[in-house]
Amino acid sequence: FLTFFCLLFSFFVYFCAGAEHESVLCCSEENLRIIVPLEDIDTQEKSTVSFSCKVNRLNATLKWLKAGEEVSFSKFVVYRVDKHKHTLTVKDCTLADEGEYTAVAGDSKSTAELVISEAPTDFSVHLKDQTITEFEDAEFTCKLTKEKANVKWYRNGREIREGPRYSIICTLRIKECRPDDECEYACGVDEKRSRARLFVEGELLQVLLYDIEEPKLDVDSSYSNNVVVMAGEVFKLEANVTGRPIPSLVWTKEEKELEDTAKIEIKSSDFHTTLINKDSLRRDGGAFTLTASNPGGFAKFTFNVKVLDRPGPPDSLTVTDVTAEKCVLNWLHPTHDGGAKIEYFIIQRRETSRLTRFK
Ligand SMILES: *[C@@H]1O[C@H](CO)[C@@H](O)[C@H](O)[C@H]1NC(C)=O
Ligand SMILES: *[C@@H]1O[C@H](CO)[C@@H](O)[C@H](O)[C@H]1NC(C)=O
């Protein structure tokens, strides 16, 4: 019996050691409590911030309070659990989100403050917060309004030197992100700085308190036919998007991802996207595919656009077998048909000595 007990005991110890993770013990009968507290956050309007804490047990659900009142979750206030780590994310902060936030785990509590300052208006650089998955590379790009500015990068306030994990030009690239890369990054020109936070999510992310909803695209029925415009005109493609979490949207043409440029304007918000092509040329036509994806799946829609224009000249004209009475002409279809099927060609002839033509 003693042997059996010893075996059982050592098996239990082994099980505990095996389940130990991130230096947090899982098997103790301890009360649920917070072992890594929340930290204060100082940010600017319109940024996204996250309060995180760790608890001593898996599968716990915490209560979140703001100024003593229970937080209600929404599209802008999201609660996530990744193993022991509990995160409350406040997206697109407004001054009203400022205050004291508390995480409650059983009898234990942790409180931190969110301080929001107004976004400066005359700023020459602007960084955006981003969330990536562990081991991906993160990239911050500063858009400068001044040329040849002396740009410096900061991580949690300390200047970053270029090294094996950081490559810097106007873009800060952080290779193979780990959870401890999750912090504030800033880009500075002279005395001004723009700050953004990087969020690194573990791959086994458990999303709590909302159901996953597959993306859906709602497109006006007129787009089921070809979109036909004349050369020089503008065409606009648009769709409404639904899904939870908010789907990411990609526009592609001939397998290439399209970007917002002077020629093609792409504007996407959480639930809507538009693509506007200005001053259309024949070659701007084609199949434009919109893909919306989230962890629940993806949805696709293809818009077919025709830009009507004059066809190009016939290709590779050759003249052979020339005699006094006849000759043989050979040619190929033009490269550009102008957006419609070519039905016939016109051949004209004139005497070398005259200016008028005969058909
Ligand atoms: C956590 O919950 C999941 C799903 O409910 C369950 O499969 C798993 O065994 C739980 N883990 C622990 C340590 O309780
Ligand atoms: C897209 O959403 C807008 C605003 O909610 C609505 O007016 C419009 O009819 C929607 N379009 C389609 C194609 O669903």
125-152 pLDDT per residue, tens: 567 787 888 888 888 877 655 445 567 7
Alpha helices in the chain (DSSP H): 2-19
pLDDT higher than 70, residue 27: no
Q: What is the mean pLDDT of residues 329-341?
A: 81
pLDDT of residue 358: 61
Mean pLDDT, residues 240-254 taken together: 91
15 phi/psi in degrees, rounded to 5:
-60, -45
Q: E-assigned strands of 175-247?
A: 184-189, 192-201, 206-207, 213-218, 227-230, 235-244
pLDDT tier at 172, thresholds 50, 70, 90:
confident
Assess whether the C-beta atom of 27 lies below 6 angstroms from ligand 1.
no
Site to substitute for ligand 1 among 16, 22, 28, 58, most atoms within 8 A of C-beta? 58
42-94 pLDDT, tens digit per residue, is 988 888 999 999 999 888 999 999 999 999 999 899 999 988 999 999 998 88
Query: Beta strands 184-189 and 151-155: pairing type?
Result: antiparallel
CATH number for the segment(s) 123-209: 2.60.40.10
Can you give the pLDDT at residue 149? 56
Instruction: Provide the mean pLDDT of the chain.
Output: 81
Q: What is the pLDDT of residue 138?
A: 83
Q: Is 58 in the pocket of ligand 1 (CB under 6 A)?
A: yes
pLDDT at site 168: 59
CA angle 23, 108, 90 (to 5 degrees): 85
Q: Quick one: tokens of 271?
A: 């639930």
Homologous superfamily (CATH) of 36-117 is: Immunoglobulins (2.60.40.10)
On whether the 212-308 domain is CATH 1.10.240.10, my answer is no
CA 56–ligand 1 middle distance (angstroms)? 14
CA angle 336, 339, 344 (to 5 degrees): 75
pTM of the model: 0.38
* Per-residue pLDDT band at 190 (split at 50, 70, 90): low
pLDDT at 359: 54
pLDDT tens for 9-23 read 444 444 434 444 444
Q: How far apart are CA 259 and CA 257, in angstroms?
A: 7
Contact 206, 81 (CB under 8 A): yes
Please state the domain extents for the chain: 1-30, 36-117, 123-209, 212-308, 311-359
Calpha distance 66→97 (Å, rounded): 9
Counting Cβ atoms within 10 Å, is residue 173 exposed (0-12), middle (13-18) or buried (19+)? middle
Q: Is the pLDDT confidence value at 182 over 70?
A: yes
Q: Residue 139, class by beta-carbon neighbours within 10 Å (0-12 exposed, 13-18 middle, 19+ buried)?
A: middle
Same fold, 123-209 and 212-308: yes
pLDDT single digits (tens) 266-311: 999 888 999 999 999 888 999 999 999 988 889 999 999 998 887 8
Give the model's pLDDT for residue 244. 80
The pLDDT value recorded for residue 24 is 46
Which residue's CA is minimally distant from atom 6 of ligand 1? Answer: 59
Predicted local confidence at residue 23, as pLDDT: 45
Nearest-angstrom CA–CA distance, 108 and 86: 14
- Mean pLDDT for the stretch of residues 109-113: 95
Q: Which residues pair with 198 in a beta bridge?
A: 130
Instruction: Tell whether the model's pLDDT for residue 154 goes beyond 50.
Output: yes
Residues with CB under 6 A from ligand 2: 218-220, 240
